[in-house]
Amino acid sequence: MLHVIVDDYGDDLKIAEKIRKYCQRKSPWIFHFDTGSCNGCDIELLAAMSPKYDFERFGCLLKGSPRHADIFLVTGPVTRKCKDRLVNLYEQIPEPKVVIAMGACAVSKGIFQNAYGVCGPLDKIIPVDVYISGCPAKPEAIIDGIRKGVEILTRKSG
Amino acid sequence: MIMSIIEILFIPIFLGFVYEGILRKVAARMQNRVGPPIWQPLLDFIKLLSKESFEVIGSHHFLISFLSILAVASLLVIVFTFPFVSLLNFRWDFILVIYLLVFSTACFILAGFSFPSPYPLIGSTREITLLLAYELPLIIILLFFGMSYYSLLLLPENLIVSFPLFFTAFLLITQAKLGYQPFNIGEAEQEIVAGYLTECSGFELAMFNLAKSLRMFIMISLASILFFNFKNIVAFVLSSLIILFFVILLRVTLARFRIDQGFKFLWLVSIPLILIDLIRAML
């Protein structure tokens, strides 16, 4: 659950590698999927796109197709109906990819602890890299989570 | 010689990325946001090249890669017909420009049709319908210039004064050709995910995005060459930036047409505009 951001990449990296990592860090494209959340987190995600927070200044774009995405941002406790679709979408995102669980529901099922139709939390079904807590998560927290996810993305690509 | 070929290949790509970056930055400022840096499209391009490229089941992966390279290549050939380029006296005419512009759009459409998914299919169908609407006015404008000056070469003319309505129609056609609002019908994000590019990933998506920014550079340069007669490169780029500002303004302020509305609008507005100027020129 905890992750350490590695700031020093070592001096032996070649210039091309450095350029590639810089570009990966500066242009994370996000694919957002709602697995049965109350829409609170989704609205906060839209708030992070709004003029006040504007995550496009970090190069983030919200993409409609999973094949364009780097970051898979999931909200909501995973309902049974959603489970297969979730795995399907996760597999459609090209490598390297990072999964972010956003909001209390995706992190720990939240208020749906003993609900019969819920088979979450998210990290039981697909590997999760970053957890953003909050109910709903704040736009500042979302931007922070994306930044941390991007650092993991650069390390995943080798 | 080799150096000049490299210049001709890389300057349009560079300017295409810069125009795209300016577009995103200015659009963000118009919406009261900070916006990405101007070199953002280049970063996106390199990132997409470093990503995995999916082979979609039921589609021909080699064909789509080939089409994406062809879309970029056909647009780069247009640059050779520009008047500033004096390599090999490689001057061809309007007909070649029209043909190659349609050819690159056809690459997009064919790539969309080659996926077994409904979204690219719908996007490609819509794009073909739109192609019928904006291609005819574009051909009328370009061929009129050719016929009235007894030359089909792409020569700089100062035509914005004598043909202002042509320029207006050309701006509308540019929006449709580039797939920007109000004519982003083929890749309507809210309806059909990303249209004909929905299933593209990695290398193909990078190439198609490069083709899009090159197409923008070429359409804006074409408008600048036809309507503003500037002899040196600096004035040419400045007039291009003015046209780019109009493109951004239309893109940010307008909403999307439905496909039938867009078709009707292009036929019922741009063709009468062209005809008025044509009749005025004949009298």
- Check CB contact under 8 Å for A24 and B199: no
The distance of B36 to chain A (nearest Cα, Å) reads: 4
- Residue range B37-83, pLDDT digits in tens: 898 999 999 888 888 888 887 788 888 889 999 999 898 888 877 76
- Residue range A65-120, pLDDT digits in tens: 888 888 999 998 899 888 899 999 998 898 888 999 998 888 888 888 888 888 87
- Give me the residue spans of the domains in chain B: 2-282
How far is B132 from A66, CA to CA, in rounded Å? 31
Three-state SS for chain B is CHHHHHHHHHHHHHHHHHHHHHHHHHHHHHCCCCCCCCCHHHHHHHHHHCCCCCCCCCCCHHHHHHHHHHHHHHHHHHHCCCCCCCHHHCCCEHHHHHHHHHHHHHHHHHHHHCCCCHHHHHHHHHHHHHHHHHHHHHHHHHHHHHHHCCCCECCCCCCCCCCHHHHHHHHHHHHHHHCCCCCCCCCCHHHHCCHHHCCCCCHHHHHHHHHHHHHHHHHHHHHHHHHCCCCCHHHHHHHHHHHHHHHHHHHHHCCCCCHHHHHHHHHHHHHHHHHHHHHHHHC
- Check CB contact under 8 Å for A67 and B189: no
- Residue range B133-185, pLDDT digits in tens: 888 888 888 777 777 666 665 555 566 777 788 888 888 889 888 888 888 88
Q: What is the mean pLDDT of residues B266-272?
A: 87
Minimum-distance CB partner of B198 among A22, A54, A65: A65
- Check CB contact under 8 Å for A54 and B28: yes
Which of A22, A24, A27 to probe by mutation at the B interface, max B CB count within 10 Å? A27
Residue of A nearest to B209 (CA): A68
Count CB neighbours of B267 within 10 A. Answer: 15
Minimum-distance CB partner of A23 among B36, B47, B189: B47
Set out the domains of chain A in order of their start, with CATH numbers.
28-156 (3.40.50.12280)
CA angle B49, B53, B59 (to 5 degrees): 140
Minimum-distance CB partner of B201 among A23, A64, A68: A68
Largest CA distance in chain B: 60
- Residue range A40-52, pLDDT digits in tens: 889 998 898 888 8
- Residue range B225-254, pLDDT digits in tens: 777 766 677 777 888 898 999 999 988 998
- Check CB contact under 8 Å for B36 and A22: no
Q: Is the ipTM of this complex over 0.85?
A: no
